[in-house]
Structures are given as C-alpha cells and as structure tokens.
Amino acid sequence: MRKKMEIKVEQSDQAVTIRLAGRMDAATATSVEEAFLARAEQGPGSFVFDLSRLEYISSAGLRVMLMAAKKTRSADGRLALFGLGDTVREVFEISGFLTIFAVFDSEDGALAFVGQP
C-alpha cells in the first residue's frame, strides 16, 4: 500500500508553515494545493514549506510549488523552503527550481527570510 501524504499547517506571527511528509505526486499534489490555497485566500502572507519529511516530489508536485510561489509573490508575500532531502533537492536542481525558490537548511533560516520586510 502506498504511503499517504501528511500535511500539517501551522500559523505563527511570521508565516504559515506547511509541513509535508510522504510522497507529493499526481495523487497527492491536489491536497497540498488545497491546503495552500485555503491559507492564501485568508489574505496576504508569507509561507514556509517544511520538506524535511518529503520523500519524493513529481512534476505534479513541482507545479503546485510553482503555483504557490507565484501566488505568494503576486500578493506581496514571501515563500521559503527548508529541509530538502537529497532526492527532493536533486529534483529541484534538475528542474531548475533551486533558482526560483529561497531554500534554507533550517526552519529558523526560512522564517528569518520570510519575516524580512
């Protein structure tokens, strides 16, 4: 049986943190998109994606991440990622997405980035 995607959304003063665990593929990317959009519709804000427990990301997952980045930027928010494992980092690197996103090793670094004016 395939592992289900886990999505946890946390709100802090600095940002909305979306923690992902499992596989972000065609079957699960829509759930991530819905979780993001539900928070993005509440008004402008900054987002941090915790990918430390993400095992795999497909092109469908990359599309959701790109949509989140575009929507956040258009609302004058900031978006950062942290905790990319080797496999996920490789997919971001090959796709050229490492140049699109602010990527950090730690949650503190990502939160500091999105908290900047």
pLDDT by residue (tens digit) across 72-95?
999 889 999 999 999 999 999 999
> pLDDT confidence of 1, banded at 50, 70, 90?
very low
Q: Rounded to an integer, what distance in angstroms lies between the CA atom of residue 79 and that of residue 71?
A: 10
Please, are residues 71 and 40 in contact by the beta-carbon 8 Å criterion?
A: yes
pTM score over 0.85: yes
Q: Which domains does the chain carry?
A: 6-114 (3.30.750.24)
* pLDDT tens-digit series, residues 17-27: 999 999 999 99
State whether the Cα torsion 69-95-56-90 is positive or negative.
negative
Query: Which residues, listed in sequence order, are joined to residue 10 by a DSSP beta bridge?
Result: 17
Please, are residues 79 and 111 in contact by the beta-carbon 8 Å criterion?
A: no
**Backbone torsions φ then ψ of 75, nearest 5 degrees:** -100, 15
